[in-house]
Structure 1
Amino acid sequence: MYMEIKQLLKQGFSQTKIAEKLGVSRTTVYRHLKRSPSEMAEWVDSLQYKKKKLDPYKELILSWLRMHPDMSAAQVYDWLLEKYKDLTVGESTVRTYVKALREEYKINKETSPRMYEAIPDPPMGEQMQVDFGHTRQKTVDNKEAKLNFIAFVLSHSRQKYKEWLDRPFTTRDVIQAHENAFKWYGGMTNEIVYDQDSLIVVSENGGDLILTKEFQQYRESRGINLRVCRKADPESKGKIENVVGFIKQNYAKHRVFHDIDSWNEQGWEWLNRTGNYKIHNTTKKRPFEVFLLEKQHLKPVSKNIDIQNNYEISIARCVHKDNTIRYQSNRYSLPLGTYNKYEKVCIKETETKELVIYIPDTGEIIAKHSIPEGKGLLIKDKKHSRDRTKGVGAFINTVAERFEDKELAFKYLEMVREKNPRYIKDQLQIILRETKGSDNEVLTKALAECLKRNLYSATDFGDIIVYLAINFCMKWQLREYENPYLYPYAMSLTRSLYGHEIWQHGKLVACQA
């Protein structure tokens, strides 16, 4: 453009005519004519690269990327903030800058892609997969509603079933959905595959699954052979993952929510119209046609189960490290030490707007709270706080008073303090709870055993008490036939020490400890 302006000027065109001919403003022509050819060349070169805010740190960032090719832009951002406290830059700016450096210097980001392989479909009637999902839908009054659903799919035919709720699922809801699915299919498969959902699984336990109390009862009643996927392994149930995505994108997307009943009815119509009728992208068959053959291989479901009376309503919640749970956007306190003992607890909301929190395995109620109006609140019971009115020394004396051998107790508690200085009050609180209602002889032996084995934590102390209680009861069982009156006393003592019966039908059964 600069050279064209110069040539047109030599040909006798005015600056106004040159601007019209080139389609630029007159000020552009004036500005260009003020510069000499050398000045123009320098100006053009300056346009080739715009100075960036992170240029002073370019060599440092390059050294990081060359040393760690798999380094993310987010980590580069964090390292910069760590090294330069006064640096003010947005994460998106760092992301763009790192991307440009990788392209300019050919530093490809290293990844560790997971290896996949195609797996043949299981035989007919062999496997069903189950998973949960949720969506946010526009309502008729232009508001937003969060809806939850449970989906089922037969792994061979890809025949689907789903149910929706306008509230969180409870274990009873999950059980009822299973019953409805079995009716929909006309039977059940030999195996059902689940994700590690808290309504079904309490803990993986190294492969020895611990299920929620209600679902374990249901499993035994129905004779369900289940398999739970490992954590962070969604591909092991890829068929149901695809179904969940299909439901969200094909059925729920852009659909307006009126009420949950009509929403479910429309959903079942969608299953017949599209979900189970459309040709499957992998099998190239219509699921409902293959299902006509697979249905003959399903196990019959004959007896009816009274879900209403046999299974309690419960919602599982994770225990956070500050000994609270979250429910309906509020936080509710738990007794100190709960986080160290339990990963999850169950909750029930009563008709009087009271939240009951209990241990799923034993049914022991550990907290009750009134449910307030509003969100973002911390509802705390004063009993769940540390004893801040006393110093640690006074607290140790208080706990030592619970033992018959106070000198031995004081020695042990001081060792606990030395080993756990930051958590000594929590430790003392737990030991105080463990000693409540325990036999003096058992407590003395527990102290001696802990000192002997160098076990200086409250949880170890509690486990030793249970261990001694079991051995004590075994001795009573040996004398049962000599004196039958001792057996009820052994049961009563065990309950007072452990919190529930470890005796069933005259036999000692496995304890949680």
Structure 2
Amino acid sequence: MEKLLLFVEIQQLKKQGFKVAAIAKKLEISRNTVYKYLDMSLEEASEWITSLGSRRKKLDPYHNQILSWLKEHPDLSSAQVEDWLKERFPTLDVGGSTVRSYVSEMRDIYHIPKVIRVRTHEAVEELPMGQQVQVDWGEITIKNSENKDVKLYFITFVLSHSRYKYVEWLDRPFTTRDTIRCHEKAFQFFGGIPEEIVYDQDHLITVSENAGDIILTSEFQAYKQERGFRIYLCRKADPQSKGKVENVVKFVKKNFAKNRVYANLEAWNEKCLAWLERTGNFNVHHTTKKRPVEVHALEKQHLKPVSSLLSFENTLVTRITRTVHKDNVIKYKSNRYSLPLGTYRPRGDNTVYVETQEEELIIRREPHGEVLARHPLCHGKGELIKNRQHTRDRSKGIHAYKETVIRQFKDQEKAEQFIHEVGIRYPRYIRDQLQVIQCAITQYRQDIDEALAVCIKDQLWSANDLRDIAQHFTRLKETKTSKPNSIQEPKNINPAIKATAATREMDDYIKILGGASS
């Protein structure tokens, strides 16, 4: 009866001069439905509606269940309905097109419209088997059994050739250690390690931009060297570089997690693995037109084997760590201790290592690395212990800041040339670069001019290089002082370049000395 009333209403609106799009919008139905009813006569519509009443469809036994899902979650996709049916009724054998048409008809009958979102895709060439895995993180807020919001975080891996996927969830943000552990589980799940892994410039992988010189976190650098895969870091705001895993993140959110009720993390991860087996890796991929699980059976033969134990896992020692806050301080025993400006890295790894020696607090970036700051230990509470050298340069503007730095070098002409070249290469990070130079001048004042000469000679236009070379010269002098009888190191050698001395034939030496070869 409802379909017959709908038929009459459509015919009346058409006679009143409404266009098909207007009728569809007014009645909240699809334009295809409007066309279908307009092409029928009253007798044909009556016969068709009567035949529907006597014809039984494959999904009719699940009609009430599907209807309750659609009413509770109007944005539910037919693909998600299909997955939920297979999850609750494992023996059900139904195709995706059957579910789509059934859900579409139910939406028309019960006037449950679905919001259509347009997605943009870009065609790219397929990569060889075993070459690449793409990795990304996601988060979603869902309801638990008490109807309270729960925020969950997940990491996704996808083999670029077969589209074979792995997903793991946490109820808290991921750390670098979590990320490494999930990599190991993904490699076990895939049956091997690819040649290359694609990431965002994520703070779990990279240590921010380091004034323009991007570097990896210490833990992940050790892990990468141990496992021997290449890393490709996408540029920021460039999702096309890892479009496959971007689509997987959306797929996990919309097909698995959306509208699902959360009980606990263990059960949630178990359900996700079952979803991967049932849907995520089993359904035919729209682009490849193949099942990922079938292609993966071939691709895993091209992956590098996974060893059972990581050697670096046994060498990592637990230490006292603190997080650097955006105002470049750490909190230790109810007090705040300052760090040099620029220590805090937006979206970077802001973990530092803290140790106490007698009445002194020592802060390092790495467990045995360079000292970032030393402070007298404060036994009060709520105090700010600040080193004056950690304050911002108060000169007005970048130009004045440059002049302030240049005046501290003996050869100001060379200093001006160096800072000019740095500004060309790091225009967005010039203040950060100047801060690094100022810090290097303060810490290695006796060797900073010699380091500047090496940088200009070898065209090393980075504040980080200047600092590292000055630090190298300082350590060389400390070594010579402690070991006076040791062989002297040659001066003016760039420590960033490892060179091997060329050897000559004996005839060459004879010619140089003015003799003749026999």
Q: Which has the larger radius of gyration?
A: 1
TM-score normalized with structure 2 length: 0.50
